[in-house]
Amino acid sequence: MTAMQDPAEPVVVFRNVSKRFGSTAAVDAMSFTVAAGETLSLLGPSGCGKTTTLRLVAGFEQPDAGTIEIAGQAMTGRRPYERNVGLLFQHYALFPHMTVAENIGYGLKHRRWPKAEVGDRIAEMLRLVRLEGFDARKPNQLSGGQQQRVALARVLATKPKLVLLDEPLSALDAKLREELGLELKQILSTVGSTTIVVTHDQDEAMSLADRIIVMNRGRIEQLGTPGEIYAQPRTEFVASFIGRTNWFSGSGGTRLVNGVCRLMTDNGTALNVKTIDIPPAGGWRVCVRPERIAIMPPHTATTDPDVNVLTGEVVSIVNMGAQLHFVCRTSEGRITIIQPNRQGSHSKTGEAVSLQFGADDCVLLAPDAQ
Amino acid sequence: MSGRLIDDAMWLAGLILIGTILCFLLTPIAVTVVMAFDSRAYLGPLPPPSLSLRWFQQFFSDDYFLRGLSTSLKLATLAVAISTAVGLATAFVVERAEFAGKQLLISLFLSPLLVPPVVTGFALLLFLSHLGLINGFARLLCGHIIITVPYTIRATLTGLGGIDRALTEAALSLGANEQAAFWDITLPLARTSIISGAIFAFAVSMDDVAVSIMLTDATTYTLPVALISSMRANFDLSIAAASVMLMLVTLGLIVALEKSVGLNKAIGQGVFRS
């Protein structure tokens, strides 16, 4: 194992990796890389293959095809304990019969750290996760958040080349999740670790990751930064899995100037969509995020010819605290709008309104094959 | 109103039934305990006029009983040690491996619970004589391993089943190999289940008559077998004294079990697993 690693060299390389269980392909020809110091998230619904991918990296499963490299070395045939990969389990998997210090020292013992350094390293890790003085506690004497920090200290103690996090925040309640999410991100960047986070929770992925792989049916749907994944989803699946979406569908359309297409929906509304793509011949789907739609008094005039205007009526309003969620009935069906909960008056239920959104708020997609 | 009356009557009937069962269970034992301390030299009517320890003295001065007691203790200790090791090894492999017919195999291991002990004893007697094994102690040991192994396997399986697989995987990902993970993680966490299985096995071995009676020879016999034979020959109250001591041993084991795991858990785990 080389001590000095070229920062340009990816820490993890997946080349056409496949894993089948019976007749289903849990992971189907996946290829991606993780750069040194980067946090990559595998995001997808349950059964999408993200957990299998994680287990392939950790060595609990062997791929049926393709190769996995970690830190420049092929992992084929290597047992979990022959790889320097740390895994933070969803429910922490702390050893219940060992103290906090014994838990953290377990990896050091088996990775053959010099005995004289083990005590110092345990103390250092406890400082890192702000649990000084907890050495002699048993895991059942700790809160959920403390257990998670001990588990993280145990993972990081041996300085693994790669850290895997399996749904790291999902076992915590909402408030703690936010707090520990920030702390987790900070600790990981302090030690500069290369990390893969597996999660079904988009907030977890968005908040922790530099890049996200959205997975579905064992395949990569899209790889990109959190911003790209949200603002420019490339498939219908990604758009509907991440965040809320309003959908318009139809077929055909004409190209105008300025990269704007005028599309006709199935319900007969003209829609201006900014795109460099040609609307797919077989039909199209347009995704508009709820916070991109403005609610205006009826018959509000616009000067911009590219702005889309829908008239409708407010059906319901839900106050979510920081935001207001409106549902309006229009000729295109029900449209959801999310607005910040600012001071002053807003439209009331039953009022007629004009909904406006720009051509560049629309994302043109081909319908997913079923 | 009548519905309530029926409910109340059912409650009353239930209480009476429980009381009757308790009397039925406890009265003979109470009688035995009292008789064991009878000071009379003959079997007289209840209650005894005065109490003494003469039957206990007689038991401990009788070589026949002492020999049986010593064989029983040696046998139980050795049989439990072997069947605990066998149970652990078997349960560990069965728990880890995934194969067709796994449940069938587990049932097979537990089948000595279902086969009548007399049949087990007789079959073993025939089989071992064919093999030429005629040493009494060796034969008894074989028999006692067979009847105790279901308890140790079952208890160990339950213990192993309760250990989150993620704990072993965590140990592996931290650099421990399979063997180290077994000694560091699996064994310590399954320990209480293994101990409760061993205590059950010990009690079963100490109390067994049906299998032992088939496999004893003239010089090697267990205490329960000795008690039965001597009862046929000359009925005296040293048997009551021996019964009291057997009860005390069992009681001691139950207390040990209660202290280490909790009796309900141990009995619940003993045979069936939900």
Q: What is the tens place of the pLDDT at every residue in A285-326?
A: 999 999 999 998 888 777 788 899 999 999 999 998 889 999
Q: What is the tens place of the pLDDT at every residue in A100-145?
A: 999 999 999 999 999 999 999 999 999 999 999 999 999 999 998 8
Q: Is B162 on the interface with A (CB under 8 A)?
A: no
Is B44 part of any domain? no
Residue numbers of B between 164 and 193 with CB closer than 8 Å to A: 164, 166-167, 169-177, 180, 184-185, 188-189
Q: Where are the domains of chain A?
A: 10-238, 244-365
Of residues A60, A85, A106, nearest to B171 (C-beta) = A106
pLDDT, greater one: A59 or B263? A59
- Specify the number of domains making up chain B: 1
Question: Can you list the residues of chain B whose pLDDT is less than 70?
Answer: 1, 260-274
pLDDT at B185: 92
Residue numbers of A between 141 and 160 with CB closer than 8 Å to B: 154, 158
The CATH number for B246's domain is: 1.10.3720.10
pLDDT at B269: 44
Average pLDDT over residues A10-33: 92
Closest CA to A257 of A274, A278, A280: A274
Confidence band of A6 (pLDDT split at 50, 70, 90):
low
Is B138 part of any domain? yes
Most trustworthy range by pLDDT among A189-203, A270-284, B96-110: A189-203
Is B48 part of any domain? no
In CATH, the number for domain A244-365 is: 2.40.50.140
Burial of B116 (0-12, 13-18, 19+ CB in 10 A): exposed
Residue numbers of A between 111 and 130 with CB closer than 8 Å to B: 111
pLDDT at B166: 92
Burial of A247 (0-12, 13-18, 19+ CB in 10 A): middle
Is B162 part of any domain? yes
Fold of the A10-238 domain: Rossmann fold (3.40.50)
How far is the alpha carbon of A101 from chain B, nearest alpha carbon, in Å?
Answer: 14
Q: What is the tens place of the pLDDT at every residue in A163-181?
A: 999 998 887 888 888 888 8
3-state SS string for B176-206: CCHHHHHHHHHHHHHHHHHHHHHHHHHHHHH
Q: What is the tens place of the pLDDT at every residue in A81-112?
A: 999 899 999 889 999 999 999 999 999 999 99
pLDDT, greater one: A18 or B235? A18
pLDDT at A362: 92
pLDDT at B271: 37
Q: What is the tens place of the pLDDT at every residue in A236-260?
A: 999 999 989 999 998 878 877 778 8
Is B21 part of any domain? no
Show the CA angle centred on residue B107, arms to residues B272 and B209, nearest 5°: 75
Is B18 part of any domain? no
Neighbours of B94 (CB within 10 A): 18
pLDDT at A335: 93
Burial of B260 (0-12, 13-18, 19+ CB in 10 A): middle
How far is residue B249's CA from residue B239's CA, in Å, rounded to a whole number? 15
Q: Is the ipTM of this complex over 0.90?
A: no
Domain range spanning residue B104? 54-270
Neighbours of B166 (CB within 10 A): 17
Confidence band of A59 (pLDDT split at 50, 70, 90):
very high
Is B34 part of any domain? no
Closest CA to B169 of A118, A61, A44, A20: A61
Partners of B170 on chain A (C-beta within 8 Å) are 87, 89, 93-95, 154
How far is the alpha carbon of A100 from chain B, nearest alpha carbon, in Å?
Answer: 15
